[in-house]
Amino acid sequence: MEHHHREAIQKNYSTLVQECRINDLLPALLKKHVFSKQMIKKYKEIPDELKRKRELFLDIQTRGPQAFNNLVTSLNETGQSHLATRLDPTAASHASTRRQAHPFILPTNIEGTGFDPLEIQTLAQNTNNNISVTTEPLKVKVQYSTKFYDEDADVPTYSTHSKKRGAVLIINIIKYINDLQPERKGADVDSRNLTDLFLQMGFSVESHIDLTKNDIVDVVREFKSSPNIVGCDMVFVIVMGHGETEKCSDVAEVIGTDNETVSTRWIEEQFNNINCKALQNKPKIFMYQMCRGKIPDYGTVQDTIEMDSGVMSRASTMMILRSCSDMLIAHSTIPGTASHRDVYLGSWYMNIFCKIMMKRAHNTHLENIFKILDNKLARLRSARQTIQTSMFTNIGFQTCYVHPGIYLDGNEIKSIHDNSLPENNVDMEETS
């Protein structure tokens, strides 16, 4: 193997080990004679999957001059093109471009369905719905801030000026043991987009895939105690997988690879002011991409409903730190309903989030980001005409600007990446 090919593997070694679906990759490598049947058997007998992948990506560097190209091709063929592109940026141009069916499909039998074909056809042709039929993954390119927007704010706003802008924990459950749940095809795209987004913004990123219930618990506990979160401006905790809602409550649960669940409420409690003193008075954003039930949302006829309610408030005579505050909790869907995912582009919710963040986070605070996200989400329709509504909950959360790419050094604004004031690094094509 050529030296620059080995360097590419070594540079991306951590991502390959974390995100590669080795059980899909091994047959492809065997077919291309990169490894013998005996070697493939050796890898399969290693009980620890991470160790199995670590050994594979070390061994493959010794498998001859064609091993690298065969690895890249195999990754493309097994639906792991984001990893192939990391190793060889030209890999995407060699892969065949597939087109998915247009998401607007007229029912074959429309009698009694309530569908108006002309109305649906008009909706399908409406460019305001922003539905792409391409399978080309999102290319993340963040527009950097050039000033701090919290300094002139007239509402309580977090200070996000430090070079240690934040830490991100990503947990993505894609494949389940013994197929106890359907594979979440395309979910790997979300991990890649989110990692690229936050790295460009100046965050440290910790990403995990395919964890059991106990693994999720361990990873969350380790992250909340990690030195990476000490002194940072903010934290994102992003959990993706199949989900459900606790009986007799609206609390969502994420399903681990072993079909056991972890409550989202438990995850959030690990970062409250009692359990995570390092993040007291710091913004903590939780994002969940998962179903919260099995009911598809077909929408309804617009109606006007008014409701009034009054809440009595009591003034406190003591100034103490609340046990839970500074949290923004965002869900891809409302309780009881399903969430949508594209097998090529990733989930609707995370795809839109990444698009908006890379274009708008330089001058837009997070609550408005999530409002814009839901506005765009409302325009999407699946082939079955189902829709999706996101939601977020503010728990003592102030206005929060991410200020991607910059930090304050004394009185001087510098770039997180090269110590100079950044120029806007994307074209202002669309910022809405």
Of residues 216 and 101, the one with the higher pLDDT is 216
pLDDT at 248: 63
Domains detected in the chain: 3-93 (1.10.533.10), 166-295+323-415 (3.40.50.1460)
* Terminal-to-terminal C-alpha distance of the chain: 47
Note the pTM of the prediction, 2 decimals: 0.65
For residues 289 and 348, give the distance between their C-alpha atoms in angstroms, rounded to a whole number.
Answer: 9
For residues 252 and 206, give the distance between their C-alpha atoms in angstroms, rounded to a whole number.
Answer: 23
Can you read off the two tokens belonging to residue 104?
């607007």
Pairing of strands 234-240, 284-289: parallel
For residues 414 and 393, give the distance between their C-alpha atoms in angstroms, rounded to a whole number.
Answer: 33
Cα–chain center distance at 223: 17
Are 19 and 87 within 8 A, CB to CB?
no
Q: What is the pLDDT of residues 33-70, one digit of tens each?
A: 999 988 898 888 888 888 889 889 988 988 888 999 99
pLDDT at 429: 37
Instruction: Measure Cα distances from 63 to 10, 36, 60 in Å.
Output: 15, 11, 5
Q: What is the pLDDT of residues 259-272, one digit of tens each?
A: 999 999 999 999 99
Cα–chain center distance at 394: 20
pLDDT at 418: 67
Residue 99 has pLDDT above 70, yes or no: no
Average pLDDT over residues 361-366: 96
Are 164 and 232 within 8 A, CB to CB?
yes
Average pLDDT over residues 294-301: 53
User: What residues are labeled active site?
Assistant: 242, 291
E strand residue ranges, 51-165? none
Confidence of residue 345 (pLDDT cuts 50, 70, 90): confident
Confidence of residue 115 (pLDDT cuts 50, 70, 90): very low
Half-sphere exposure of 378 (CA within 13 A, CB side): 8
Give the DSSP H or E segment for 218: helix 213-224
